[in-house]
Structure 1
Amino acid sequence: MPAFPNSCFQISVLLLGLAAGPGLLGCARVVSATTSAAAADCLVYVGTNVASEQENTIYLYRLQAATGTLTRLDAQPGGAAPTYLTMDAARRHLYAVSETQTFRGAASGGVSAFAVDKKTGHLTLLNQQPSGGGAPCYISLDRSEKNVLVANYVGGNVSLLPVQADGRLAPAASVHQHEGRGPHPNQTSPHAHCILPDPSNQFAFAVDLGTDNVYGYRLNAKEHQLAPAAAPAFTAAPGAGPRHLTFHPDGRYAYLINELNSTITALQYQDRQYEKGPAAFTELQTVSMLPAGFTGPNSCADVHVSPDGRFVYGSNRGHNSLAVFAINPGDGRLTLVQHVSTQGQTPRNFALDPSGQLLLVANQNSNNIFTYRVDQGTGKLTPTGHSVEVPSPMFLQVVSDFTR
């Protein structure tokens, strides 16, 4: 595989942190007691996966900033297992994976494109395409929004699908198979679990739980191509099972959550060194996601950095908690702040609102979503006392409320 030519770097965000613009949003605002920044009401799209149903639902809620209350606005078919979602910056189109192993008779999952009604937030299906591999579990847009990037878990590969001018998806233009295995029983084959662009949109990084590797790709957004690097961008500890990667807002650091050994790794991103190869990331620190003395079964799931770059949050499935870490601004290292119960079972996904003042957690196996207030000084989470019941919530896409 060819090495990368020279390039530089820009930021990609999994959660759309979109501030309300004047004239576009008429939403109510509330000022937090711990910060002068204003929080705004938001919309929350919820991906689900109820195994007994052929068609699953994408739900739409309004999140009230003042209270943390969630109010259902809409519910509609989202295709088979629409577990992971992403939306463009203009909020015109939403994209969802179908986390299945067969799609239209092919040994592949699927990807759906939806148009978004700017008055109601309602989704209208535009088209669907095969994802290029079995059980796609992650989707992101590149920074130019010309392509969606998909990680296929069972397929052990990643794919790129061009986005057409009207938001529809073209067939996959680039598909790359990972190879290898790890020492853990869950690592008998590659399991791509995440793919996202780097801050410059020149590279994409794919996290593979099955091989303990983060793979680097040259991203050519204009030509709709991924070109693999000659060597992994980072290799985690044997059996760690890396799952999700997220970048710090300043682009100097990234944070990798490891599912199988319940740790989180702080990384320094080395874009200039990566141009010369082979490693993109240098490990700064790896710390446990669990409190001292906990001995029960656990697997980690999701990870996010606060919009202000001061804190990292990660979820534990088994301990059923969120771990909060403070980020040292000088070196990117982490200090534990808090473990807080998710008030449910199996927190597969969680999300911060664009202001960073509210956090929502989706508990997959207890069928509920809880909201938390975020202390802007310490990063600590306090339950708001508000929740909703949702069948098997898998993903939360939070955007500013454009319907008012």
Structure 2
Amino acid sequence: MAELLLALGTLNREAPYFQGARGDGLSVWGFDEEALTFRRLAQYPQVENPTFLSITPDGRRIYANSEVADWKEGLVTAFAFDPPTGRLDYLNTQPTLGSIAAHNMISRDGRRLFVANYTVGSGGPDQSFVVYDLRADGALSPAVASVAHQGSGPNPDRQERSHAHSATEVIGGGRVIVADLGTDRLVTYAIGPDGAPSRLAESPTAPGAGPRHVALHPGGRLVFVINELDSTVTAFALDPVGGGLTALDHQPALPPGAADSHCSDLQISPDGRFLYAGNRGHDSIAVFAVEEDGRLTPQGHTPCGGRTPRNLALTPSGRHLLVANQNSDRVTVLARDAATGALTDTGAALEIGTPMCVKFAAG
């Protein structure tokens, strides 16, 4: 069985809201899903704080956000990776037009990159959602369009202003859902032929929920959102034309009595039957079964194998879930039962400083 390609971003520059920076930037690994072993293929330490990544299905292009706390603008950098030789080459860098670049996604047609800026304070371009064209060689164009969000939420410490946290294109393409943690809103944009976003709909979450990341059901009709501030997961029905989202269910990601925890990432199994939600603080993965009507049935919690599970990645087969445990310098490999959704720690792990983001190439 061929190795899977895995792009990994680690923290290599201190930030006041992270607990240390012990990483070595961007690296590419081969992961043997049978032996559960990792093999380093390439490394690029010069990119600063690649806290979120996207990788093309063939593994030949990687796009890394640089999140540096005292910059008025983040950066997004394009890389070319050659799987046969293991060569990782810098292509170019563009400013993200806003501070704290939090998330990016390659469009489903491979023509564009979408970036969400969390944005803090004031000054600078202060844009929430930014669109780039991808050139023939994989390099990034300057930003072709951007929008700024306004508003706030009831949590004065975390929702004093808009904080866009992710930008996710829906299964059918052409529509992007931006989760805004600061305003408790999911904003759906239509992407025009020139890349310009036009606002289609705004859908509220619970007040103070703080929507962070989005997972899409493969059938295209359901959207799931993990809420960082109140540690919940919400299921929505998507209007494919108008872009609006109708809440179907809302479940806690923590067990009763758990405290001092904030949700992080959300992943859905390839068959759409199970959701996996990261809990930072409780240091667990919450498992939910997805019912036919979109409602969620809690299936319990599995220890994440470390501390502060910031990011999750399912292998393309769905057989394993990798967990980037930020504060224990460890990427843990959990086995997944396809029939029950249950997770089991395999004991296999990659020991690496401050892992922030893990992404598999789909091929």
- Normalised by the length of structure 2, the TM-score is 0.92
1:61 CA displacement: 2.1
Which runs of structure 1 show a deviation greater than 6 angstroms over 4 or more consecutive aligned residues?
A: none
Say if 2:55 and 2:360, in contact at 8 Å, map to a contact too: no
Aligned-pair identity (%): 38
Q: Distance in 2 between matches of 1:101 and 1:223?
A: 32
Residue 67 of structure 1 and its aligned partner are, at CA, apart by 3.3
User: Which residue number in structure 1 is paired with residue 143 of structure 2?
Assistant: 172
Query: Structure 1 residue 123: deviation in Å?
Result: 1.7
From the superposition, tell whether residues 359 and 62 of structure 1 become closer, same or farther in structure 2 (CA, over 3 Å). Answer: same
CA shift, 1:55, in A, is 9.6
Q: What is the CA–CA distance in structure 2 between the aligned matches of 1:78 and 1:137, rounded to whole Å?
A: 19
- In structure 2, the residue matched to 1:17 is none
- Tell me which residue corresponds to 2:250: 286
Paired letter, 1:95: Y
Of residues 59-68 and 387-396 in structure 1, the stretch that sits farther from structure 2 once superposed is 59-68
- What residue in structure 1 maps to residue 346 of structure 2? 384
In 1: Cα distance, 2:248 partner to 2:234 partner: 7
Letter in 1 for 2:176: A
Structural mapping, 1:8-27, within 5 Å: none
* Equivalent residues in 2 for 1:210-225, closer than 5 Å: 210-220=182-192, 222-225=193-196
Please say if 1:109 is aligned against 2:74: yes
1:240 is aligned with what amino acid?
Answer: A
Matched, 1:253 2:222: yes
Instruction: Determine the structure 2 residue equivalent to 1:35.
Output: none
Where 1:336 maps in the other structure, the secondary structure is strand
Gaps of 5+ in 2: 15-20, 120-125
The answer to whether the 8 Å contact 1:102/1:109 transfers is no
Letter in 1 for 2:96: S
- The aligned residue for residue 331 of structure 2 is 369
* 1:62 equivalenced with 2:30 (yes/no): yes
Name which of 147, 150, 174 aligns with 1:202.
174
8 Å CA contact retained: 2:152, 2:162? yes
Whether contact under 8 Å (1:109, 1:130) holds in the other structure is yes
Q: In the alignment, does 2:52 pair up with 1:84?
A: yes
Deviation at 1:156, TM superposition (A): 5.9
Who is 1:161 aligned against? Answer: 132
Larger fraction in strand:
2
Secondary structure of 1:189's aligned partner? coil
> Does structure 2 conserve the Cα–Cα contact (< 8 Å) formed by 1:55 and 1:80?
no
The range that moved more, 94-103 or 144-153, is 94-103
- Answer whether contact 2:283 2:307 (CA < 8 A) is retained: yes
Alpha-carbon separation, structure 2, partners of 1:297 and 1:394:
20
Query: Which structure has the bigger radius of gyration?
Result: 1
Cα distance in 1 for partners of 2:65, 2:22 equals 14
SS of residue matched to 1:365: helix
The code of the aligned residue for 1:139 comes to N
Q: Distance in 2 between matches of 1:55 and 1:160?
A: 28
Cα distance in 2, alignment partners of residues 306 and 259 from structure 1: 21
Asked if structure 2 preserves the Cα contact closer than 8 Å seen for 1:101 and 1:108, the reply is no
TM-score of the pair, normalised by structure 1: 0.83
What does residue 22 of structure 1 align with? none
Contact 1:213/1:236 (CA < 8 Å) preserved in 2? yes
Structure-2 residue corresponding to 1:131: 96
Contact 2:23–2:354 (CA under 8 A) maintained in structure 1: no
Distance 1:124 1:73 in 2: 13
Q: Aligned AA for 1:203?
A: R
Offset, 1:74: 2.8
Deviation at 1:91, TM superposition (A): 2.7
* Contact persistence 2:13–2:68 (CA under 8 A): no
What is the identity, as a one-letter code, of the residue corresponding to 2:322?
A: L
- The answer as to 2:269 corresponding to 1:313 is no
How far apart are the structure 1 equivalents of 2:219 and 2:6?
Answer: 26
Equivalent residues of 1:101, 1:133 under 8 A apart: no
8 A Cα contact 1:80 1:100, kept in partner: yes
Write the letter of the residue equivalent to 2:210. G
The change in CA–CA distance for 1:381 and 1:120 in structure 2 (over 3 A counts) is farther
4, 9, 12: which one aligns with 1:50:
12
Count of equivalent residues:
350
Deviations 1:314-334 (A, max 9, x none): 100010000111111x20111
Describe the shift of the 1:133–1:90 C-alpha distance in structure 2 as closer, same or farther (beyond 3 A): same
